[in-house]
């Protein structure tokens, strides 16, 4: 603060050395700092110093508040780690329909199924609006999905578990006369942060569901790597 005051004083002073009087016949040197600065300059300088002092005080108060919030956040993180043993917890399970009954599909292109009825979603890695699970933690994961075929004389149901657009495994029913077939499949796979996993309904295929929740999609983190 003393350095700031000194600089403001230096800038505000009149450059009196070598100044001529109004008759241009005499030159005098400043005899001191006070003689160089008029009353207006001193008043302005005092006002500026007051503003600087107020800003510094406000900044100090804000820094104190931020430090308190940071300490509280660190405390909460430590408490959460103590509760879960420092290991991330990721698990979800969802069914296809929130309510009612009917077919999903057909679509002209392969389409991710959006499992709307969420039973659990620890870690919030599953998005019911898109049907996509996105890994937030690098590790080994388990996924399982089930499929109930369409209620028609000739079944036409094919779904696949996808990872980043690559098919991993499938369940299908496209032949026979039984209109109440269903199946399931599962995988254990490694995922990097940002990898996407979802169940895809093949183009021009159909699945049926109702309040019994035949079509499900579930997964959880086995361990981090």
Cβ neighbour number for residue 165 with a 10 Å cutoff: 9
Strand 102-104 vs strand 166-173: parallel, antiparallel, or unpaired?
unpaired
Mean pLDDT of 140-151: 93
pLDDT above 80 for 77: no
Looking at every residue in the chain, the average pLDDT score rounds to 83
Q: Is the pLDDT of residue 223 over 90?
A: yes
Q: Indicate if the pLDDT at residue 18 is higher than 80.
A: no
What are the DSSP calls for 17-54, one per residue?
TTEE-TTSS-EE---SHHHHS-HHHHHHHHHHHHHHHH
Query: Which residues fall within 8 angstroms of residue 31, CB to CB, at 6 or more apart?
Result: none
What is the per-residue DSSP string for 154-217?
S--EEEEEEETTEEEEEEEE-SSS-S--EEEEEEEEEE-TT-EEEEEEPTT--EEE-TT---EE
Mean pLDDT of 47-62: 83
Q: pLDDT-based confidence at 69, cuts 50/70/90? A: confident
pLDDT at position 55 is 83
Overall pTM surpassing 0.75 (yes/no): no
Alpha helices per DSSP H over 89-137:
none
Return the pLDDT at 134.
98
pLDDT at 20 over 60: no
Per-residue pLDDT, 80: 63
Model pLDDT for residues 79-120, shown as the tens digit of each residue: 666 556 677 999 999 999 999 999 999 999 999 999 999 999
């Amino acid at each position: 603060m003393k350095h700031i005051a000194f600089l403001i004083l230096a800038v505000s002073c009149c450059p009196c050395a070598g100044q001529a009087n109004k008759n241009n016949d005499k030159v005098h040197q400043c005899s001191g700092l006070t003689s160089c600065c008029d009353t207006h300059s001193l008043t302005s300088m005092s006002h500026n110093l007051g503003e600087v002092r107020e800003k510094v005080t406000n900044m100090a108060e804000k820094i104190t508040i931020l430090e308190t919030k940071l300490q509280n956040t660190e405390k909460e993180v430590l408490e959460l780690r103590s509760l879960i043993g420092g290991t991330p917890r990721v698990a979800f399970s969802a069914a296809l329909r929130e309510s009612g009954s009917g077919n999903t599909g057909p679509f002209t292109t392969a389409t991710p199924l959006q499992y709307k009825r969420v039973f659990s979603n620890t870690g919030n890695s599953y998005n019911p609006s898109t049907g996509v699970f996105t890994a937030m933690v690098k590790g080994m994961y388990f996924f399982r999905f089930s499929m109930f075929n369409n209620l028609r004389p000739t079944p036409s149901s094919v779904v696949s578990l996808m990872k980043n657009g690559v098919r991993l495994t499938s369940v299908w029913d496209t032949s026979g006369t039984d209109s109440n077939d269903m199946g399931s499949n599962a995988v254990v796979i490694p995922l990097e942060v940002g990898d996407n996993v979802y169940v895809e309904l093949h183009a021009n295929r159909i699945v049926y569901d109702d309040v019994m929740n035949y079509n499900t999609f579930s997964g959880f983190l086995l361990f981090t790597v």
